[in-house]
């Protein structure tokens, strides 16, 4: 074995690591270090070192457990795996050799002993053990591994419980904050609407365009804040399964007409052409009208937001057996294949969030990445599914996107059905 052999050295104590690393490098070896057993295993698999030197007491796995893992793989059948330890009892040695360690080096090591021992193991040397002690070592090792495993499972369960508690606290905090914000916002919105109706203000708005645009901007901003707070509240309730569905007889055609009406001003302002024929949609479905309106509002809102002025939006429906298929198609910027799998995840946005405008309907308006997860949660809670098709994202050629929603004619949920994001009840 040449002196430029690669040695993987796994040690969590920085001082020891530095010392041995330097000694080995001075001896002409290439040394790669890891601080934990798991990182060491990953490095071993990618580097295939000539020798692995490992501390026995590591923070995650014990050194001999690391040896067991690697020895299971053919490529490490013959790699020397040497344990480095401060204590070296016979029992410890037997357990380690039974686990697949090739041999032991005991700390403190002086440079020439280290060099000699590394050379010995690189040249195929092994510490020997007789059959009887090997068997006893194996039995003890199995017991130790099981005990270690039990400890780790308990630690993980405790950590998981603590995380769940923290997550619950976070959701509660978000819900309380959103509630607290929504109440005064609703009042402010009401006051502004009342103010708009004041004859003095109306005549002022007619006389002065600046006043009129200020009031319009105020109303739009408050509406936007209101819808942002609502989105946060809804997604948080979805995650904690606190939204109750009110399933009734619904008229999907009317729901979609309301959605389209909500965007009419933006559609006119942005010169978008729309294909929408209300009669295509069934009038005898069952579902939650408010939630479905919200889901389609998010889809049509996105179509408006991501289609440049003068583009086209189509909302089409058809019946396929007892399923309703609704497509929301736009001639907008499109979505890359790699983003398509993530856009239904909460808080996933493709654009740089800092570039988002504050308007919900301006081109490239952006948002918090909650619209699609909310739509998906609602559709799935109705027993339906949603997916997207687009050949890619290109703001210049605008290949467009199509969102397809399948909904059963009759949602099987009961009046008190709860809403999850996966529809997995
Ligand atoms: P946002 O509030 O950011 O619009 P959404 O959850 O509604 O959040 O959408 C997530 C991301 O998916 C958006 O940031 C956008 O990049 C992309 N997206 C959604 N709908 C469209 C669409 N019709 N055309 C192009 N991109 C879209």
Q: What is the pLDDT of residue 227?
A: 82
Q: Judge contact between 407 and 324, C-beta under 8 A.
A: yes
Tell me: the pLDDT tens digits for 401-411?
999 999 998 76
| CB-count exposure of residue 160 (10 Å: 0-12, 13-18, 19+) | exposed
Confidence of residue 388 (pLDDT cuts 50, 70, 90): very high
Best mutation site among 302, 346, 367, 404 for ligand 1 pocket (most ligand atoms within 8 Å of CB): 302
Q: Is the CB of 372 under 6 A from ligand 1?
A: yes
Specify the pairing of strand 51-55 against strand 81-85: parallel
DSSP string, 224-265: HHHHHHHHHHHHHHHHTT-PBP--EEE-HHHHHHHHHHHTHH
What is the structure's pLDDT at 173? 87
349 C-alpha to center of ligand 1: Å?
A: 6
Could you tell me the distance, in angstroms and rounded to a whole number, from the CA of residue 404 to the centre of ligand 1? 14
pLDDT at 329 over 50: yes
Q: How many whole angstroms from 178 Cα to the centroid of ligand 1?
A: 22
Ligand 1 nearest-atom number relative to CA 372: 6
The SS3 of residue 405 is strand
Name which of 8-12, 206-210, 220-224, 389-393 the model is least confident about.
Answer: 220-224
Q: Region 41-63: what's the mean pLDDT?
A: 95
CB of 377 closer than 6 angstroms to any ligand 1 atom = no
Confidence tier at 238 by pLDDT (50, 70, 90): confident
What is the Cα Rg of the chain in Å?
Answer: 33
For residue 335, how far is its CA from the centre of ligand 1 (angstroms)? 8
Residue 131 clears pLDDT 50, i.e. is over it: yes
Residue 348 Cα to ligand 1 midpoint, Å, equals: 8
What is the edge-to-edge ordering of all strands in the sheet holding 401-408? Answer: 273-276, 312-320, 323-330, 401-408, 385-389
The mean pLDDT value for 355-379 works out to: 75
Comparing CA positions, the residue from 115, 120, 87 lying closest to residue 102 is: 120
Amino acid 236: pLDDT: 81
What is the predicted pLDDT for the residue at 32?
A: 97
Task: Give, using CA atoms, the residue closest to atom 16 of ligand 1.
Answer: 350
Distance CA 49, CA 47 (A): 5
In angstroms, the Cα distances linking 25 to 19, 99, 116 are: 10, 28, 14
Mean pLDDT of 90-99: 88
Q: Say how far apart CA 419 and CA 425 lie, in whole Å.
A: 9
Bridge partner list, 403: 328, 388
pTM here is: 0.65
pLDDT at 420: 46
351 close to ligand 1 (CB < 6 Angstrom): yes
Tell the residue number behind the tokens 């032991």, with chain if given.
104
**Is residue 6 pLDDT above 90, yes or no?**
yes
Q: Is the pLDDT of residue 100 over 60?
A: yes
Query: Ligand 1: does its nearest atom lie under 6 Å from the Cβ of 380?
Result: no
């Amino acid at each position: 074995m040449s002196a430029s052999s690669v040695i993987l050295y796994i040690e969590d104590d920085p001082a020891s690591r530095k010392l041995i690393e330097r000694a080995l490098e001075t001896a002409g070896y290439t040394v790669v270090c890891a601080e934990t057993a798991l990182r060491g295993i990953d490095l071993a698999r990618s580097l295939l070192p000539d020798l692995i030197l490992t501390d026995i007491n590591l923070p995650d796995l014990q050194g001999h457990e690391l040896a067991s893992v690697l020895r299971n793989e053919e490529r490490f059948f013959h790699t020397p795996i040497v344990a480095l330890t401060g204590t070296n009892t016979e029992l410890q040695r037997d357990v380690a050799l039974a686990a697949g360690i090739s041999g032991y080096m005991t700390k403190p090591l002086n440079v020439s002993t280290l060099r000699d021992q590394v050379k010995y193991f690189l040249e195929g040397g092994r510490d020997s053990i007789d059959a009887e002690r090997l068997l006893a070592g194996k039995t003890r090792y199995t017991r130790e591994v099981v005990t270690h495993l039990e400890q780790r499972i308990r630690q993980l369960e405790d950590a998981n419980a603590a995380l769940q508690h923290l997550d619950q606290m976070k959701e509660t905090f978000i819900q309380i904050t959103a509630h607290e914000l929504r109440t005064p916002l609703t009042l402010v919105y009401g006051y502004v609407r009342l103010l708009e109706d004041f004859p003095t203000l109306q005549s002022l708005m007619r006389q002065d365009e600046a006043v009129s645009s200020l009031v319009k901007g105020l109303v739009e901003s408050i509406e936007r804040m209101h819808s942002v707070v609502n989105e946060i509240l809804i997604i948080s309730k979805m995650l904690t399964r606190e939204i109750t569905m009110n399933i009734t007889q619904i008229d999907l055609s009317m729901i979609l007409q309301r959605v389209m009406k909500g965007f009419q001003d933006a559609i006119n302002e942005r010169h978008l052409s729309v294909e929408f024929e209300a009669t295509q949609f069934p009038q005898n479905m069952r579902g939650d009208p408010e939630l479905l309106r919200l889901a389609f509002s998010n889809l049509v809102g996105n179509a408006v937001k991501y289609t440049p002025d003068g583009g086209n939006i189509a909302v089409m429906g058809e019946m396929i057996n007892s399923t309703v298929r609704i497509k929301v198609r736009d001639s907008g910027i499109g979505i890359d294949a790699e983003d398509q799998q993530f856009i239904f995840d909460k808080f996933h946005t493709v654009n740089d969030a800092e570039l988002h405008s504050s308007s919900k309907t301006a081109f490239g308006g952006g948002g918090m990445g909650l619209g699609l997860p909310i739509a998906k949660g609602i559709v799935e809670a109705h027993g339906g599914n949603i997916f997207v098709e687009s050949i890619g994202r290109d703001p210049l050629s605008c290949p467009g996107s199509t969102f397809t929603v399948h909904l059963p004619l009759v949602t099987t949920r009961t009046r008190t059905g709860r809403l999850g994001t996966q529809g997995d009840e």
